[in-house]
Structure 1
Amino acid sequence: MSGGEFDFIERFFRPLAGEGALGLRDDAALLDVPEGRQLILSTDTLVEAVHFLPDDPAETVSRKLLRVSLSDCAAMGAVPRAYLLNISRPSGFDDLWFASFSAGLAHDQALYDVRLLGGDTTGTRGPLVLSLTIIGEVARGRAVSRCGAKPGDRLWVTGTIGDGAMGLMARLGEVPDADGYLTGRYRLPQPRLGFPVQNFASAGMDVSDGLVQDAGHLAHESGVGIDIEAEAVPLSPQVRALGGAWLETCLTGGDDYELLFTAPEEASDAIRQASRQSGLEATPIGHVREGSGVRVLNGAGRDVNLTRKGWQHF
């Protein structure tokens, strides 16, 4: 490590700064809010050896950090605009590592049309800690929240479930991953930006802590119960090839970053049309009911007993 904090910012992060960042030279950034729009803000933190493995490439760590926050924008039907970045840097992470980290951010800034506005850097004796705050915008009153699900709504999910959790298992050497697909899904989530969830969802969020647990968040915030049909949950061919013994891991593992949402039955055709137009599969996997909590049901309609519900942060 050399040159101090301001040299560190100058070399690795000033090239990423966009309009409103004031060259990362001031105490704060400036951001205009268009008339008729609202800002959405969300913060995510990644900790070394907790949310990524110490030998994960720096470029994928930075891209994952940005993408998990972009997924929050997608879940609310928002368009991402910019982000703030905080870094607590141990001495063991050298300039070469951060050059790759910065290159990863530059790649995804161009891919998703977002820019760096500012942040903070500090040293630490602990693990590397990375925190990113995403700033997005949505038409006033159109943001999707977790608290609108109604009995009779269908429960939908995009993409496939379990890839992230099984990607971690692959990284730990517990399952095979011959084509690298599962590892890729763990390292580089695919934020579902552009899928117009705000056009039909009564409630929604992204799947970050596990399908069952996150469905529980929707149920709790909406004051309803949710039934998940285990056999309807979409799995990738790579996960299916690993066998049914991993089903609970897929249902309760995190890191999928797919959209999970409820919608009235009459919105089903619109959802399927949006799925075709976006090229992103959306699958109905259950229903909203009166009551509380989440039930996972097998093909015979009986409860599937799970030993865990999902990722716990504490």
Structure 2
Amino acid sequence: MNNGEFERIARYFAPLANEAALGLTDDAAVWLPPTGRALVLTLDQMIEGVHFLADDPPDCVARKLLRRNLSDLAAMGAAPIGYLLTTALRATTPEPWLAMFAEGLRVDQERYGITLFGGDSTSTAGPLMVSATMIGQVAPGAAWRRSGARAGDAMFVTGTIGDAVLGLEAARGNIDDPTLRFRERRLLPEPRVGLAIAGLVHAAIDISDGLVQDVGHLCAASGVGAVIEAGLVPRSAAARAAGDDWLAARLTGGDDYELVIAAPVEAEPALRAGCGDVAITRIGFFTGSHQDVIVRDAAGAAMSFARPGWRHF
């Protein structure tokens, strides 16, 4: 690491670190985990041109990076503690970009009560890449799994579905975004950490690759099938104004970072109470009669899609 890298770490990242990070001057952090808690670890990366656009605000890139990881913890019912950060930046990356990126980290560290443990920094001649390894905690044996859904469970989703992919379409000039709702949701998802619904959830997954595809992941892990009623999938006022032509995109586009939850039908009132101000909507059910994901339109006919969600390869 050259002196410039040390200076950048000291200037932008050391102020974000906790005591366990030892000032970011040693090779690793030293941390004593909470007594009697199980740790939950997850990692997500973001690559310029794949996960964010070159002209996206740097503070939003940083905040989305943290929030994608926080959403993974939320999908397991875990509370966040902190994270490790890796950056691969071009030598020509300007200082104001780094300053805004670090400020985005600071804002969401404060918002979600997390802190920086350490990480790594390197240079690249290609696209920018940033990654975060998020550390959370949960009571032993209490983490929600994808494998717990049962035939007869109801399917719920938090929030609204589809604004993030419409934000990408708006950035491409394919749809109007007069309220900037789509842009906001593309840049800054809302991870559903802190919901008071422990003990009610049989299985959960966050929607990163698309509602249809992620429900399929949950079904595959649980050995069940699912039926999604497309007309029940919640949408924002902006998405309603955009019309029904975008339905398939909303169901398969991904980047929502809302939760899909499998729970007993009778748990719905308690789920609503436990979610507080976060809307939760029943959109279908899980079944043992098949192991497919069937999406039915308003007339009850099965819908088909060119692809069920985001493909990584």
The Cα offsets for residues 195-238 of structure 1, whole Å up to 9 and x where unpaired, read as: 13433110001101100000000000001101101001001110
Structure 2 counterparts to residues 32-71 of structure 1, below 5 A: 32-71=32-71
Q: How far is 1:181 from its partner?
A: 1.1
Q: How far is 1:272 from its partner?
A: 2.0
Structure 2 counterparts to residues 178-257 of structure 1, below 5 A: 178-257=178-257
Structure 1 unaligned segments of length 5 or more: list them: none
Distance 1:8 1:19 in 2: 19
1:77/1:196 contact within 8 Å kept: no
**Partner letter of residue 19 of structure 2?**
E
Q: How far is 1:307 from its partner?
A: 1.5
1:143/1:198 contact within 8 Å kept: no
Q: TM-score, normalised by structure 2?
A: 0.97
**Partner letter of residue 84 of structure 2?**
L
**Partner letter of residue 300 of structure 2?**
G
Distance 1:19 1:259 in 2: 33
Structure 2 counterparts to residues 1-314 of structure 1, below 5 A: 3-275=3-275, 278-290=276-288, 291-314=290-313
Structure 2 unaligned segments of length 5 or more: list them: none
Distance 1:196 1:206 in 2: 17
Q: How far is 1:292 from its partner?
A: 0.8
Distance 1:41 1:272 in 2: 28
SS at match of 2:179: coil
Large movers: runs of 4+ above 6 Å? none
Aligned residues: 311
**Partner letter of residue 296 of structure 1?**
V
Moved more, 264-273 or 151-160: 264-273
Distance 1:310 1:287 in 2: 20
Distance 1:175 1:197 in 2: 36
Q: How far is 1:306 from its partner?
A: 1.4
**Partner letter of residue 97 of structure 1?**
W
SS at match of 1:231: helix
Distance 2:194 2:90 in 1: 37
Q: Give the aligned CA root-mean-square deviation in angstroms.
A: 1.1
Distance 2:19 2:11 in 1: 18
Distance 2:192 2:272 in 1: 15
Q: How far is 1:3 from its partner?
A: 4.2
**Partner letter of residue 287 of structure 1?**
F
The Cα offsets for residues 132-190 of structure 1, whole Å up to 9 and x where unpaired, read as: 00000011111111000000000000000001110111111111111111100100011
Q: How far is 1:191 from its partner?
A: 0.8
1:76/1:198 contact within 8 Å kept: no
Q: TM-score, normalised by structure 1?
A: 0.97
